[in-house]
A and B are shown apart, each in its own frame.
Chain A
């Protein structure tokens, strides 16, 4: 269970983002403790992805602040986010289809030989190691990732997030394109990572998965935060009410 005695691992405080006059995220505050999964819920266009992209460095927020371990963090681009051990699995997976699994896994953080050249053999070896853990059936180490199935591509994206000792993991609908067996694999992985003390933001549409995987759920509607609830204190209907009607169950 999450340890909530210390400062939160991440606190996004009073964050606003607007695109050409439209407030995509409107004064939203969410937090995340180590060993916890926080679900981010809401309709398409509710602002979940925009909010989370501020944390991963893909967007810049207009106002508000991000605290990591209680300290103010400056995140202006994806490289900054990686420095804070924030890893993201994007809904689109963000893989370069023309490159192989190892090149994608280490993209932007290549292993190099003493002469400064990329060390493909070493990277392939590391990729084989982590894949043996995540997806033992994975064999296509030489092929470009466009030749892989949806589940295999997903495991490359997950491997990339997990390999670099993430402390904060953002998963944007990680199971949307997966079959039941692969979905189960991702669920087990989330449990495992949680037990290791990672904090996970999970953007998820499937209410069943939310109830199963998340400790807390923050619901957004029209760019605003409806509220944050402990999942074991509410029912499916309560959460659906928050998403659809924007109605907080305890008020």
Chain B
């Protein structure tokens, strides 16, 4: 009897989620993330969930999260990319050399506003071309992606070394450095404006989707469910903005910036950081990649090829070219991640991005991307990256020894996949 009641209550709960059309896997991940945060918050006597730490967590996650969105496409098409960390290093080296040696050599002085954009273009081209080249070897020459990118890991890591003679290159261009995180933020007002606009866009998207279904006379969710969805999206976006705004710029930093402009800081002046540009970049990448995955032919073909490569081919999809495109996108994202990573450090270092390939793959897999192909979400990969980063920095804050940190992360990775397998077995969508 008690069992019957329990299952009845469970069914009721499921129905609520079903009405809201929530992805239960997403809920699970959000739940896991919240749990990690709460546990560390208790262990650190409330230091984990402070605006300052959340701000830092966010900017530390950006580089891996950007690459993880591309890794979703790679893994969904039944491939793997082990070269992303090394490729990040090569892109970072190219961008660092361009801005500190190449362009100044051409007569562009330090601080010239075109240096950063030109360096970024060079980096994006490097990433895109190398990615496409690896994709061509995988797609057209049919060498397994595991081998191509394992070779790529060695090649690009050492191309970066060769290009820079192993030296640290810096300081990087000032404008370029604003993309690293704390060095460039929207400020309080800008962040609120962004938050409100983002909320309106989210609401418009929900309304638009509902209208399309009504136009075609498909069943729609009850109005209250849409209302809950709208309220939740607004709370999430504006809450995030509020937290980042609550992290105040230290007084000495403010005073210095006033002095740099030849002014004196008014007494009692304070300012919040707001959303870092690097996080805006991640949001933009997430939105674009989600659109590609769900609303473009390219995305449709990526998932179709992952689900059944033969069927995709028989449907007239050029799966070889598709592989080239997927790896090219991955390469461009490595360049973006390299840009954020080196800007955050304010220099290019020889070991930049080391072991990132493993973090990126782990983020995608923890985020629900199936190595068998055909299944994966962009938001899942970003959440996966966030969970990994939270674990890592949480343990560092608690004072767990470095070897144990990695041991825990390794165990969590395997455990997360195990849970996913059990979940899929139970729901039957293997």
- Residues on A facing B (Cβ under 8 Å): 56, 58, 77-79, 82, 88, 90, 92-99, 103, 107-110, 112, 116-118, 120-122, 124-125, 144, 146-147
Contacts and interface: CB of A to CB of B under 8 A. Distances in A.
B325 to A, nearest CB: 16
Nearest to A88: B314
**7 closest residue pairs by CB, A with B:** A98-B307, A96-B307, A108-B315, A79-B316, A98-B374, A94-B311, A121-B212
B256 interface: no
Interface string B334-352: 0000000000000000000
A121 B297 contact: no
10 contacts: A78-B315, A92-B311, A93-B311, A96-B311, A97-B307, A99-B304, A117-B291, A118-B295, A121-B213, A122-B216
Given A96-B304, A98-B303, A147-B429, A124 B218 contact: yes
A96 B308 contact: yes
Contact of B296 (A90, A96, A118, A147): A118
Given A103-B304, A110-B300, A77 B312 contact: no
B317 interface: yes
B70 to A, nearest CB: 19
B313 A78 contact: yes
Given A108-B316, A108-B317, A97 B308 contact: yes
B5 interface: no
A119 to B, nearest CB: 9
Interface string B197-237: 00000000000000011011010000000000000000000
A186 B300 CA distance: 29
Contacts of B304: 96, 99, 103, 107
B89 to A, nearest CB: 34
Nearest to A58: B314
Chain B interface helix/strand/loop/mixed: helix
B215 A107 contact: no
A14 to B, nearest CB: 25
Interface centre among A79, A97, A107, A146 (most CB of B within 10 A): A107
Most buried by B among A90, A98, A103, A117: A98
A110 B304 CA distance: 12
A78 B311 contact: no
Contacts of A116: 296
A112 B297 CA distance: 9
B266 interface: no
B403 interface: no
Given A90-B314, A94-B308, A121-B215, 13 more contacts: A92-B310, A93-B311, A94-B315, A96-B307, A96-B311, A96-B312, A98-B374, A98-B375, A99-B300, A108-B315, A118-B295, A122-B216, A125-B218
